[in-house]
Amino acid sequence: MIFTKKTTSLRLSLQKTLSLLLGILMVLYSPINIFYLNTPIIGFIEIGISLYSFYCFWAATSGRVKTIQYYTLAGLTTFLIYFAAYHADIRGFSILWGLTLPIIYYIMFGSKQGFYFTLLALFPSLYVIFYHLPSDFFISYRAMTNYSLAHFFIWSLCHLYEKQHYQDKNQLHKMALNDALTGLKNRHALEKCFDKLEQHSAQANVLLVDIDFFKRVNDQFGHGIGDYVLVEVAECLQNHVDRNAVYRLGGEEFVIVLDKQSYQEAQHKAEEIRHAIEHYIFHNHDLRLRLTVSIGVACSSPGGRMNDALRLADTKLYQAKNAGRNAVYV
């Protein structure tokens, strides 16, 4: 479908622009067909489509657009192109407008539906060419071959562009939600997680994990070793909970969101993590390090804000720090 939560502003902008261009184009062509080419039926159809195109443009601009509107617009445009090509003199080359259909389909519907619609659009074009050219089979064959090659060329360009656009969008989405160093989800992803939990009024446990004396590691061994420690801690956390539940909040702080465990289970999991890291040896070449973490644990209230739970976990974390570190406070 076209309009989902994942619809990009770029595609919506392209759809609005296409609606406007189609409307203007139909307005320009309709008087030519009515008064000059003496094909009033085609002209009045163009007027109707132009009005509908302007309506789609208005709906998209005002935020009232619906999926069915662009399916209807694409269907009407396709019908007009083939209707005009079938009834007009073949020497006017009206059928060449069929080569714009792959562009229209891919802009409106993306790569998957655009692929199938473009494939189907080829057959009526070949039908019009074959039955409207002179009876010389060789001429019809050449015309159909050339048209098909042009159709496939434009089709390939549209498909390659859409695939590249999809890959770029996914890469940007990944960069926006993932921490570049550890590969964990970042603070932006955590906010989205909190929003989703709040929308469903779900309770969740928040574990705020902080590496003790991490600044000493950077100062004594350099930021390269510090980065290595962060990556290792991230992997250790993912080994004990669902990897999608772990977030890097920033610096040496990590957040774990557990929405399927009880508060007591979350406390046990926090103690398990603390114990595992305490006995973990961080080794890099000849370097051997032992580190500890402090963890604050809090649970959101029913229907409450998740950021309140995070602030409470932060308070518990500071209590663990003040009590000597390497501790879990609930």
Catalytically active residues are 252
Q: Which residue has the tokens 């069929």?
A: 98
Q: In the 3-class helix/strand/coil scheme, how is the chain assigned residue by residue?
A: CCCCCCCCHHHHHHHHHHHHHHHHHHHHHHHHHHHHCCCHHHHHHHHHHHHHHHHHHHHHHCCCCCHHHHHHHHHHHHHHHHHHHHHCCHHHCHHHHHHHHHHHHHHHHHHHHHHHHHHHHHHHHHHHHHHHCCCCHHHHHHHHHHHHHHHHHHHHHHHHHHHHHHHHHHHHHHHHHECCCCCCECHHHHHHHHHHHHHCCCCCEEEEEEECCHHHHHHHHCHHHHHHHHHHHHHHHHHHCCHHHEEEEECCEEEEEECCCCHHHHHHHHHHHHHHHHCCEEEECCEEEECCEEEEEEECCCCCCHHHHHHHHHHHHHHHHHCCCCCEEC
Q: Which residue has the tokens 């656009």?
A: 165
The CA-atom distances, in angstroms, between 129 and each of 82, 117, 146, 265, 284 are: 11, 19, 11, 72, 71
Cα–Cα distance for residue pair 92/85, rounded to 1 Å = 9
